[in-house]
Amino acid sequence: MNSEWRAFLTRAGAVFTADGAPSFGSGAAEARAALTGDTCCDLSHRGLIVARGPETETFLQGQLTCDVRQIALERTLIGAHCTPKGRALACFRLFRRDGDHYLELPQALLEPSLGRLRKYVLRAKTALENASATLARMGVAGPESENLLARGHLAAIRGMRPGDVLHADAITALRLPGPFPRFELHGPAADLSAIWDRIAGRVTPVGAGSWRLFDILAGTPAVYPETVEAFIPQMLNLDLMDGIGFQKGCYTGQEIVARTHYLGKLKRRMFLARVDGATLPRPGDPLFSPQADASQSAGQLADAAPHPDGGYAVLAVALIEHAERGVLQLGDASGPPLRLQPLPYGFETAG
């Protein structure tokens, strides 16, 4: 975490847990505000890789599933880095700033992903670095989040659509997709501190768990250490959110990804669901279906977070036929059932 940003969060009332995550000690208030009010959140649990150099776009185009050429200064995309067999090693949100490309992902996968990508650089004129301590990061979400941010020097934030990027002085603002307005802000700690102070009192500070819940409700996939190489990109619905460029040409894993698309052999999709239980489910937890073949897994969780209304919200990658019949359970035959919820996007374009 940026040291200046950490110092500001401490002054703002944050208490840091053993793993370095800030908590504002307002669990009940966070739960109430998460889906009905306006919230702000430190995003240091999300790591940043910066890629810079004259051949960066060409290099990333040959490694990631999305069409990197479409990531202009005003647009952000999501994409995956895959094995040669088309299995996702990481999911990134990509954006540009000051001529460089930034790749955002869970902090736990930053160093492994940085190492894997560097192996492919070879003679390309590009350099990859950990930028997590270079820029401070915060999120603002809720029905009034756009108006709150626009009252300062981010007036141009009004009218941004999901996927849009705004550059205002030293701040880079991303409008994220999902069922309610949500923004990421990247910039110097001093600038973000001023924004945080300006909206304080009108928002509830929340922890990383709430932001993870927002991603889940938006149907935005993530890969964690427990699910590295568990899914091909279409299983994570990346083809439904411009996360796969089928006309872009070759990239690592492209043959398998393209074959799945054009031959229409996709049997698993990522579903949004609610589930009850005594303990928080984890990415990689298995799913059970009484109708599945005993030799075949019914699926596994991609993500999970507590839901303010009780239980947990999860993203579950599951066999489509069993999910549509509503016969999925967490763990085994004695596990709680998954109650499917509508995603903010449909499967109309599924291959």
Taking only the tens place, the pLDDT of each residue in 135-147 is: 999 999 999 999 9
Q: Are residues 233 and 163 in the same domain?
A: no
Q: Are residues 255 and 169 in the same domain?
A: no
Q: Judge contact between 171 and 98, C-beta under 8 A.
A: no
Q: How many residues does the chain have?
A: 351
- Going by pLDDT thresholds of 50, 70 and 90, the confidence category of residue 19 is confident
Confidence at residue 20, expressed as pLDDT on a 0 to 100 scale: 75
For 126-182, the DSSP string reads: -EEEE-TTTSEEEEEESTTHHHHHHTTT-GGGTT--TTBEEEETTEEEEEPPSSS-E
Q: Starting at the edge strand that comes first in sequence, how are the strands of the sheet with 77-82 ordered?
A: 77-82, 88-97, 100-106, 46-52, 127-130
Q: Are residues 322 and 250 in the same domain?
A: yes
Q: Is residue 346 part of a domain?
A: no
Q: Residue 313 in 3-state DSSP? A: strand
pLDDT tens per residue across span 297-344: 899 999 999 999 999 999 999 999 888 887 899 998 899 999 999 999
Q: Are residues 217 and 244 in the same domain?
A: no
Tokens of 39: 């919230």
Q: Is residue 288 part of a domain?
A: yes
Q: Judge contact between 275 and 99, C-beta under 8 A.
A: no
Separation CA 265–CA 160 (nearest Å): 36
Backbone angles phi, psi at 260, to 5 degrees: -60, -40
Q: Are residues 133 and 263 in the same domain?
A: no
Q: Are residues 242 and 164 in the same domain?
A: no
Q: Flag whether pLDDT at 348 surpasses 60.
A: no
Q: What is the total count of domains within the chain?
A: 2
C-alpha 180 chain-centroid distance: 15
E strand or H helix at 56? helix 56-61
Q: Flag whether pLDDT at 349 surpasses 60.
A: no
pLDDT tens per residue across span 198-256: 999 899 999 898 999 999 999 999 999 999 999 999 999 999 999 999 998 899 999 99
Domain encompassing residue 16: 1-221
Residue 228: which of 299, 184, 283 has the closest Cα? 283
Q: Judge contact between 196 and 213, C-beta under 8 A.
A: no
User: What's the Cα-to-Cα distance from 116 to each of 64, 81, 83, 121, 254, rounded to whole Å?
Assistant: 12, 9, 10, 10, 17
Q: Is residue 324 part of a domain?
A: yes
Sign, CA torsion 7/147/34/212: negative
Confidence at residue 15, expressed as pLDDT on a 0 to 100 scale: 85
Q: Are residues 229 and 198 in the same domain?
A: no
Q: Is residue 50 part of a domain?
A: yes
Bridge partners, residue 211, by sequence: none
Final residue of a domain: which of 192, 221, 250? Answer: 221
Q: Is residue 351 part of a domain?
A: no
Q: Are residues 205 and 74 in the same domain?
A: yes
Confidence at residue 333, expressed as pLDDT on a 0 to 100 scale: 87
Final residue of a domain: which of 221, 237, 267? Answer: 221
Tokens of 236: 């994570």
- When comparing pLDDT for 349 and 330, which is higher? 330
Q: Are residues 162 and 174 in the same domain?
A: yes
User: What's the Cα-to-Cα distance from 345 to each of 238, 240, 350, rounded to whole Å?
Assistant: 11, 8, 11
Confidence at residue 114, expressed as pLDDT on a 0 to 100 scale: 97
Q: Judge contact between 292 and 286, C-beta under 8 A.
A: no
Q: Are residues 263 and 178 in the same domain?
A: no
Tokens of 73: 């200064």
Pairing relationship of beta strands 171-175 and 299-306 according to DSSP bridges: unpaired
The mean per-residue pLDDT over the stretch 258-266 comes to 85
Q: Is residue 200 part of a domain?
A: yes
pLDDT tens per residue across span 269-285: 999 999 999 899 999 99
Q: Are residues 73 and 95 in the same domain?
A: yes
Q: What is the CATH number of the domain that holds 276?
A: 2.40.30.160
- Going by pLDDT thresholds of 50, 70 and 90, the confidence category of residue 350 is very low
- Going by pLDDT thresholds of 50, 70 and 90, the confidence category of residue 351 is very low
Q: Is residue 348 part of a domain?
A: no
For 224-282, the DSSP string reads: -GGGTTS--GGGGTGGGTT---TTS---TTHHHHHHHHHHT---EEEEEEEE--SS---
Tokens of 223: 């890969």
Backbone angles phi, psi at 271, to 5 degrees: -115, 150
Separation CA 83–CA 113 (nearest Å): 12
Label residue 234 left, alpha or beta by phi (over 0 means left) and psi (-120 to 50 means alpha).
alpha
pLDDT tens per residue across span 89-144: 999 999 999 999 999 999 999 999 999 999 999 888 999 999 999 999 999 999 99
The whole-model pTM stands at: 0.94
Q: What is the CATH number of the domain that holds 152?
A: 3.30.1360.120
Q: Are residues 205 and 266 in the same domain?
A: no
pLDDT tens per residue across span 32-75: 788 889 999 999 999 999 999 999 999 999 999 999 999 988 99
- When comparing pLDDT for 265 and 348, which is higher? 265
Q: Is residue 350 part of a domain?
A: no
CA angle, residues 29, 34, 132, in degrees to nearest 5:
105
Confidence at residue 27, expressed as pLDDT on a 0 to 100 scale: 67
Final residue of a domain: which of 221, 240, 272? Answer: 221
Confidence at residue 152, expressed as pLDDT on a 0 to 100 scale: 73
